[in-house]
């Protein structure tokens, strides 16, 4: 790299962070210019107290209490079509994206597609395809995460599964970035232990892959490193005691940091977990945790020194081996399945999964170039 490098960077949005901030939901809608919001969330959250009390707050403010919740764990274009029908029938002018990754991703796409005339797949994150969209047709979004993992609340893209091909596609547009985010750790208190673990390890994977990616982005690099430290320190606490608001809050910060950082790139962990999730409908963050140890060893030749520096910052002794050992320790602590076979992945489908992994956009950010042979061997190692 001769002279000063060149890069394009962009950073996120207004975030109202802290316990109880959900009470500012009506003000957040006003800030985003939304008068008739549609709250989009997933099936599991629809009847929960945090969701119903948020709808109460909207209703008290004269904003109605409209909700759409027919969202699958890996949302697809059928969920989107159903959500758009509800959005249009209700005459809505904006979306409240409420939930974990699946609810947030689908909600952002309802807002995005509400005023488009072209089909969803025309906007896949390839080259400048996003310029095909009519920016005036994108409704404003207020995002309210209820898990601490995906970081989708500070992202400009959504992952939507094509229900026919079972391939996860990334749909991107700069205006899909929510106008306002409410990060209220009280909303995450009721998360089941396995979801706390899976989403938390998703945040760790985002930070780890961004930190390890070879591209030039010092801002993301610093954020990824501190995100790793926060997860390492606070996820065990949040897992042990779901009511620990300090731990819950730090995990929400780490999740947002991971999603900001991975502008710098993702890698093999996501390249493997995206096809597995699309084919087997596994939990994304949990799948990331399962393949992480094998991916660390796979990338060792390129990241050994870098992860030794990270280990030192995290207070982990033993350089790269100490870091890898800590990942094993976290997985054991959180009862993460040992290997893909334990998640139901069949060896007979590894060739197919390998082909899908190599088509995933995350491949380009991996520190070691991924080929058909070494990716197949990596799947085998992760079994």
β-bridge mates for residue 37, sequence order: 94
Dihedral sign for Cα atoms in the order 108, 112, 118, 122: negative
- The answer to whether 239 touches 330, Cβ cutoff 8 Å, is no
Pairing of the two strands 167-172 and 157-162: antiparallel
- Give 10: exposed, middle or buried? Use CB within 10 Å, 0-12, 13-18, 19+: exposed
Q: How far apart are CA 115 and CA 111, in angstroms?
A: 8
Share of the chain above pLDDT 70, in %: 98
Using the predicted structure, report yes or no on whether residue 2 has a pLDDT greater than 60.
no
52, pLDDT greater than 70? yes
Q: Summarize the confidence of residues 256-285 as an average pLDDT.
A: 94
Q: How confident is the model over 272-322, as pLDDT tens digits?
A: 999 999 899 899 999 999 999 999 999 999 999 999 999 999 999 999 999
Q: Which domains does the chain have, with CATH numbers?
A: 14-188 (3.40.50.1970), 193-382 (1.20.1090.10)
The structure tokens listed for 210 are: 């961004």
Give per-residue pLDDT as tens, 55-113: 999 999 999 999 999 999 889 999 999 999 999 999 999 999 999 999 999 999 999 99
pLDDT digits (tens, 9 = 90+) for 100-157: 999 999 999 999 999 999 999 999 999 999 999 999 999 999 999 999 998 999 999 9
How large is the average pLDDT for residues 163-187?
Answer: 92
Q: How far apart (Å, rounded) are the C-alpha atoms in residues 74 and 281?
A: 7
- Cα 355 → chain centroid: 23
Global pTM reads 0.93
Taking the CA atoms of residue 86, residue 89, residue 93 and residue 95 in that order, the dihedral angle to the nearest 10 degrees is -10
Mean local confidence (pLDDT), 364-375: 97
Residue 13 predicted with pLDDT over 90: no
Listed residue (215, 199, 198) closest to 147, CA to CA: 199
Quick one: CA dihedral 350, 354, 357, 363, positive or negative?
positive
| Cβ proximity of 195 and 140 under 8 Å | no
| pLDDT confidence bin for 167, thresholds 50/70/90 | confident
CA distance 36 to 330: 43
In this predicted structure, the answer to whether residue 7 has a pLDDT above a threshold of 70 is no
What SS3 string covers the chain?
Answer: CCCCCCCCCCCCCEEEECCCHHHHHHHHHHHHCCCCEEEECCHHHHCCHHHHHHHHHHHHCCCCCCEECCCCCCCEHHHHHHHHHHHHHCCCCEEEEEECHHHHHHHHHHHHHCCCCCCHHHHECCCCHHHHCCHHHCCCEEEEECCCCCCHHHCCEEEEEECCCCEEEEEECHHHCCCEEEECHHHHCCCCHHHHHHHHHHHHHHHHHHHHCCCCCHHHHHHHHHHHHHHHHHHHHHHHCCCCHHHHHHHHHHHHHHHHHHHHCCCHHHHHHHHHHHHHCCCHHHHHHHHHHHHHHHHHHHHHHHHHHHHHHHCCCCHHHHHHHHHHHHHHHCCCCCCHHHHCCCHHHHHHHHHHHHHCHHHHHCCCCCCHHHHHHHHHHHC
Decide: 293 and 229 in contact? Cβ < 8 Å: no
Buried b / exposed e over 92-114, threshold 16 CB at 10 Å, is bbbbbbbbbbbbbbbbbbbbbbb
The reported pLDDT for the residue numbered 1 is: 45
231: tokens are: 């997860």
Strands 157-162 and 67-68: unpaired
Residue with the bigger pLDDT between 7 and 258: it is: 258
d(CA 317, CA 329) in angstroms, rounded, equals: 14
Minimal CA–CA distance to 76: which of 55, 105, 53? 105
Q: What is the pLDDT of residue 148?
A: 94
């Amino acid at each position: 790299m001769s002279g000063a490098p060149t890069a394009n960077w962009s950073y996120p949005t207004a975030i109202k962070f802290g316990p109880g901030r959900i009470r500012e939901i009506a003000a957040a809608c006003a800030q985003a210019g939304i008068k008739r919001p549609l709250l989009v969330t997933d099936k599991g959250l629809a009847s929960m107290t945090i969701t119903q009390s948020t709808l109460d707050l909207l209703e008290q403010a004269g904003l109605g209490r409209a909700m759409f919740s027919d969202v699958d764990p890996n949302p697809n274009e059928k969920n989107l079509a159903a959500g758009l029908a509800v959005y249009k029938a209700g005459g809505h002018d904006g979306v409240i994206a409420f939930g974990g990754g699946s609810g947030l991703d689908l909600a952002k796409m309802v807002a995005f597609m509400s005023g488009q005339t072209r089909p969803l797949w025309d906007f896949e994150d390839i080259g400048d395809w996003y310029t095909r969209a009519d920016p005036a047709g994108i409704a404003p979004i207020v995002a309210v995460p209820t898990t601490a993992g995906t970081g989708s609340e500070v992202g400009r893209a959504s992952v939507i599964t094509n229900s026919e091909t079972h391939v996860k596609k990334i749909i991107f547009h700069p205006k899909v970035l929510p106008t306002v985010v409410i990060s209220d750790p009280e909303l995450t208190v009721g998360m089941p232990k396995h979801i706390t673990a899976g989403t938390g390890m998703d945040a760790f994977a985002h930070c780890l892959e961004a930190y390890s990616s070879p591209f030039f982005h010092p801002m993301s690099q610093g954020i990824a490193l501190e995100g790793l430290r926060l997860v390492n320190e606070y996820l065990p606490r949040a897992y042990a005691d779901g009511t620990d608001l300090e731990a819950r809050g730090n995990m929400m910060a780490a999740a947002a940091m991971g999603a900001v950082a991975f502008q710098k790139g993702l890698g093999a962990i996501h390249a493997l977990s995206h096809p597995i999730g699309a084919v087997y409908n596994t939990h994304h963050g949990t799948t990331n945790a399962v393949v992480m140890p094998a991916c660390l060893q796979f990338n060792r030749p390129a990241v050994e020194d870098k992860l030794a520096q990270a280990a030192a910052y995290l207070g982990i002794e033993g350089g790269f081996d100490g870091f890898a050992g800590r990942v094993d320790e976290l997985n054991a602590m959180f009862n993460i399945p040992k290997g893909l076979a334990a998640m139901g992945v069949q060896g007979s489908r590894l060739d197919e999964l390998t082909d899908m992994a190599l088509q995933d956009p995350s491949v380009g950010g991996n520190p070691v170039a991924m080929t058909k042979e070494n990716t197949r061997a990596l799947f085998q190692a992760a079994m």
